[in-house]
Amino acid sequence: MSTHPETSSGLSVSGLAEHEVGRRRFVGYLLAAATVTGAAQLGIGLGTPAAAVVPGVPQPADLYDLNDLLTDAARPTANLIQVVVDKDGTASFELPRAEVGQGITTSIAMLIAEELDLPLSKVNVTLSKARPELIWNQMTGGSNTIHAMYTPVRVAAAIARGALLDAAAIALAQPHDTLSVYEGAITAPGGASISYGELATSAAALVTKVVDVDLKPKSDFAVIGTPRRRKDALDAVTGAKQFAMDIDVPDALPAMVCRAPEHNGTVKSVRNQKDVEAMPGVTHVVTIPTGVAVRAGTFGQCINAVRALDVEWNPGSVSGRSDADVLEELRGIERPMLVPDVDELLGTVTDAVGGLTGGLGAADVKTLDTDFVFYTRSGSPLETNCAVADVRADKATIWAGSKTPIVAVESIALDLGLPPTAVTFNVVESGGSFGRKLFWDAAKEAALISQKCQAPVRLMWHRADEPRQGRNHPMATSRVRTVWAGDNILAVEQQHTCTATDYRHGFGEILTSSAISLPAGVSNLGVSETIFVTSQQVPYDFGVTTQGLMETTSRAINSGAVRNVYSPDVRTALELTIDKVAKKMRLSPVEFRLKYAKEDRLRRVIKQVAAAGSWGRSIPAGTAQGIAVHQEYKGYSACLVEIDCRPETVNRKVYNGVTGPRVTKVTFAIDCGEVINPKGVEAQMQGGIMDGIALALTASTHLEDGRYLEASWDNYFYTRQWNTPPDVRVFVMDPVTDIPGGAGEAGVAASFAAVACAYARATGTTPTSFPINHHDPIGFEVKSFVPPVPASPTDGLSHTY
């Protein structure tokens, strides 16, 4: 087994444009500051992407995708990011993005180390507080950080380096062009040397200057593109890494919320407030819109108080409804297919598809309809929703993970009745996000509780709160109609329908603002549709290709843009359909995908996994290979899995866990353009694979009578060690473009689809709903709804090992 990222350039790639990566000149600023400070505007370096000439009918996302949209939204903000070199010779940068485990603090530090010629260990990247002046440019999402930051960060660092060189030329009394720079020291021909630290003050500008600067050519890269460990790895393995609940804020006592049994139920009355206030450690009991909050000396005391509260509840937002009702609602809003059935197609669409059917009779044309259901999933990370808040009469300070801190500040200020300028939002590194930190649910609750208690609080959700009251990955149906004649695909239509995805974190403002500049055909769409059409692509040449989205208008079910948003479900539905069509055409899944792939970059990753994963090798009955691809975030991925569906594997027992089929081997290849840190990309792909396995096989929530049954990790079955493939290989392809793509979400879709395709091939049955175990009898004892959180066990010492 190899788990190291394997870069591959062995495959010949025909038809790929040669990219001459020469020096590129950019303008930035040398700021007036105490020590040398290079600065740049976000948005530079990202010209309108070349609209590749693709055969077939281009979809909107071919020309203009979500990354372009997020980047364009940021372009007009005339505000700067700054790289500061300090007197101790280190460089520091406050990153206006959220680190949630995706590794961007390391990647951004690598960019600075590269341009400054400074060891990576001397670059400190921290997370910026909410900076309202950045307007839309402090949102982390859409796997966009590296794409948007790649050039501005390098420009700022290069300007700082230039100023240091200018100062060194004076200090060393040598011409500028005779100096050499190595690891933060500048050396003259005679050997005299001076460090960045020594120059940091003299190199500083007295007045801000506009500076133009060359970036390092790719041929000189010594850091970018090399595998580097995470900068926070030592803190992570020693327990020193601080998350929101680990920060010491004086007097910020633990707080928890007693929540309704029904999803989004509200408080009618509290029957025993005084009794609970008198419980050990309890300092406050206050009602907030989402429940009854308790503040106490320890979280253990909070749990006891939450369990003791006797609350009369109002019904929730989906009272009396179950999964089947939600599915029925989706069925009710599904759009009729635009592509007609075969006979009508021959009569009316022949012209539109350019005569592809010329000479063929009706008997040669075939139609296949497929229909899949994707049940609701919890997007919760391991760190539950949490935030520290200290709200005073005239100001508020918050510490929390957040991908949208500016909108959070504005919203929370409104909730508190304070001006936004009175709210400080400190962005803390998060224990995962997967889209969850797009919302500030916990920060808002913490602020309201602190205001009501007139005391600082450390608010944490109980795990049981997460699947029951937290935000979900919406339930969806996805229908695909494929029409083909001989070996020509004439039309593919996919209609995706789901419960509403909540984008009220400010994404909407970006989109609204950006809509006027969108290419024709993309504008005038609703938020969800815009996200959909700018993120979804059919990466195959399929004649007339249509993908559409319909969402419910009700926000009755808490939702959010969970990792990779629509793509995992959309891809899985389409890739499963493709396998069926390929079989009818007597093509293997790999042959079919190579034949119809739109782009050589996609063909390259397919060939990579097929070769490295030994596509077509002989394996026992009941096991099978499956392959799937994905194209998003300016990148291309292919995933080849082997799955074992034999009874002895499926029926193996694990206490309090789901076993079922086991994915035994995964070969994954990603071409995400220019790669900053191959190790980081590999990690993201591995994580995406684990998500894909869970989505296909084990992970969903069940709505029953207005309440979600799942309440913890022994109910909600995310991938565990016993589900993990023993053999996982990730290939990070050598870049064929100098444009960096996104990696954080890129691994999920192809993995989910490949596992589903492998399962279908191993069992001979294509599943029609996911995860495949959703309709199994509930395999756990449902935890109590009143009280809403379970008591902690007391038998810990009976389970030592």
Partner 1 sequence: MPEYTFKLNGDKVTVDVQDSERLLWVLRDVLGVRGPKYGCGINVCKACTSHINGKAFNPCATPISALDEDDEITTIEGLADTAPGDGLHPMQEAWLDADVAQCGYCQPGQIMAAVATVNKAHAEGRSVTDADIDEIRNICRCGTYVRIREAIKAGAGKMG
- Structure-token match 């195959």, residue found: 540
Distances (CA, A) of 504 to 164, 407, 536: 44, 9, 21
Contact at 8 Å (CB) between 592 and 646?
no
Map residue 367 onto helix, strand or coil. strand
689 binds partner 1 (CB under 8 A): yes
Q: Which is nearer to partner 1, 115 or 465 (CB)?
A: 465
Residue 345 phi, psi (nearest 5): -55, -45
Minimal CA–CA distance to 767: which of 779, 753, 778? 753
Please state, in angstroms and as integers, the Cα–Cα distance from residue 384 to each residue in 11, 102, 127, 129, 451, following that order. 44, 17, 20, 21, 22
Q: How far is the CB of 620 from partner 1 (least distance, A)?
A: 19
Residue 480 or 565 with smaller CB distance to partner 1: 565
Q: Among 281, 315, 526, 622, which residue sits at the site for partner 1 (rule: CB under 8 A)? A: 281
Binding mask 206-235 for partner 1 (x = CB under 8 A): -----------------------xx-xxxx
The CA distances from residue 541 to 482, 538, 707, 710, in Å, are 13, 8, 44, 42
Stretch that binds partner 1, among 236-244, 480-488, 622-630, 754-762 (CB under 8 A): 236-244
> Using the rule CB under 8 A, which residue among 174, 208, 712, 769 binds partner 1?
712
Residue type, 425: F
542 binds partner 1 (CB under 8 A): no
Q: Among residue numbers 606 through 665, which ones bind partner 1 (CB under 8 A)?
A: 656-657
Q: Which is nearer to partner 1, 120 or 594 (CB)?
A: 120
Residue (of 439, 399, 398) closest to 420 by Cα position: 398
Shortest gap between Cβ of 721 and partner 1 (angstroms)? 5
x/- binding map, residues 132-161, to partner 1, per CB under 8 A?
A: ------------------------------
| 620, two tokens | 């026992």
Q: Which is nearer to partner 1, 189 or 300 (CB)?
A: 300
**Residue 120 to residue 112: CA distance in whole angstroms:** 8
Smaller CB separation from partner 1, 298 or 765:
298
Residues in region 28-87 near partner 1 by CB under 8 A: none
Using the contact rule CB under 8 A, the part of the chain among 337-345, 467-475, 515-523, 718-726 near partner 1 is 718-726
Only segment of 30-38, 314-322, 431-439, 542-550 that touches partner 1 (CB under 8 A): 431-439
Lookup result for tokens 């060891």: 119
**Based on CB atoms, which residue is closest to partner 1, 592 or 770?**
770
Is the Cβ of residue 64 or residue 461 nearer to partner 1 in the bound state? 461
Query: Does residue 178 touch partner 1 according to CB under 8 A?
Result: no
Nearer to partner 1, 291 or 432 (CB): 432
Pick the closer one to partner 1 by CB: 508 or 790. Answer: 790
**Residue 187 CB, nearest distance to partner 1 (Å)?**
32
The CB density around residue 799, as the number of other CB atoms within 10 Å, is: 7
**CB of residue 381 to partner 1, shortest distance in Å:** 5
CB of 408 to partner 1, least distance (A): 20
Name the E strands within 23-162: 25-30, 37-41, 80-85, 91-95, 123-127
Site for partner 1 in 94-133 (CB under 8 A): 100-103
Q: Candidates 53, 173, 210, 797: give the one binding partner 1 (CB under 8 A).
A: 797
Residue whose pair of structure tokens reads 């792909």 in the numeric block: 685
Would you count residue 793 as binding partner 1 (CB under 8 A)? yes
Secondary structure of 551-578 as H, E, C letters: ECCCCCCCECCCCCCCHHHHHHHHHHHH
Length of the chain: 801
Q: For partner 1, which residue of 564, 567, 719, 737 counts as binding (CB under 8 A)?
A: 719
Q: Tell me: does residue 710 bind partner 1 (CB under 8 A).
A: no
- Nearer to partner 1 (CB atom), residue 287 or residue 677: 677
Judge residue 579's burial from the number of C-beta atoms within 10 Å of its C-beta, 0-12 exposed, 13-18 middle, 19 or more buried: buried
User: Looking at 188, 511, 690, 696, which residue binds partner 1 (CB under 8 A)?
Assistant: 690
CA distance 593 to 582: 9
Query: Closest CB to partner 1 among 48 and 798?
Result: 798
At residue 508, what is the residue type? G
Among the candidate windows 169-177, 491-499, 534-542, 792-800, which touches partner 1 by CB under 8 A? 792-800
Q: List binders of partner 1 among 369-428 (CB under 8 A).
A: 380-384
Q: Which stretch binds partner 1 (CB under 8 A): 215-223, 353-361, 494-502, 707-715?
A: 707-715
The DSSP bridge partners found for residue 637 are 630, 670
Nearer Cβ to partner 1 (481/563): 563
Residue 740 interacts with partner 1 (CB under 8 A)? no
Asked if residues 150 and 71 have their Cβ atoms less than 8 Å apart, the reply is no
DSSP H helices, 479-599, are 507-515, 527-535, 567-584, 589-596
Q: Which of residues 444-483 bind partner 1 (CB under 8 A)?
A: 460, 462-463
- Among residues 546, 527, 548, 529, the alpha carbon closest in space to that of 538 is found at 546
Nearest approach in angstroms of CB 253 to partner 1 is 8
The region, left, alpha or beta by phi > 0 then psi within -120 to 50, assigned to residue 267 is beta
Contact 209, 29 (CB under 8 A): yes
Residues touching partner 1: how many (CB under 8 A)?
79
Residue span 286-325 as binding mask against partner 1, x where in contact by CB under 8 A, dash where not: -----------xxxxx-xx---------------------
Q: Report the residue from 420, 649, 713, 766 that binds partner 1 according to the rule CB under 8 A.
A: 713
Angle at the Cα of 403 from the Cα atoms of 552 and 396, rounded to 5 degrees: 110
Does position 3 bind partner 1 by CB under 8 A?
yes
User: Would you say 35 or 380 has its CB closer to partner 1?
Assistant: 380
- Binding flag, residue 280, partner 1 (CB under 8 A): yes
Smallest gap from Cβ 301 to partner 1, in A, equals 8
Nearer residue to partner 1 within complex by CB, 17 or 786? 786
Which one, 128 or 430, has the nearer CB to partner 1? 430
**How is residue 89 annotated by DSSP?**
S
CA dihedral 434, 439, 445, 446 (to 10 degrees): 70
Which among 387, 381, 380 is positioned nearest to 243, based on CA atoms? 387
